[in-house]
Amino acid sequence: MKTLAGLTISRQCKFMGDDVTIRKLMVFEVLDLQSKAKEIDKGDDEGLAMLRTIIRLGCMDCADVTDEDFLKFPLDELSSLSNEIMSFSGVGSTSGK
């Protein structure tokens, strides 16, 4: 079982009508995200920062997306992608699906 630690599990999902590849976050990444979420105030800037962090960690297709690029996407699409990543990673009501 130890050989499976760190294995990347991914799948395709839709983002703005296109397919993107998301991956399951590791336990240490989820714990780090939860810790950061407790520390920040849920203002617009901090909420967007959290979305960017989740998407950068979990979406394999956005390595070259800058903070400025994120401002050019619809907020609801970013939120949906973030929720999809967290759900796929085992966090949320439809976790792991």
Q: Does residue 46 register a pLDDT over 90?
A: no
- Percent of the chain beyond pLDDT 90? 65
Q: pTM of the prediction?
A: 0.85
Dist CA 31 CA 27 (whole Å): 6
Mean pLDDT of the 3-17 span: 93
Higher pLDDT, 5 or 92: 5
Radius of gyration of the chain measured on its C-alpha atoms? 13
Higher pLDDT, 10 or 1: 10
DSSP the chain: -GGGTT---EEEEEETTEEEEEEPPPHHHHHHHHHHHHHS--SHHHHHHHHHHHHHHHBTT-TT--HHHHTTS-HHHHHHHHHHHHHHTT-STTTT-
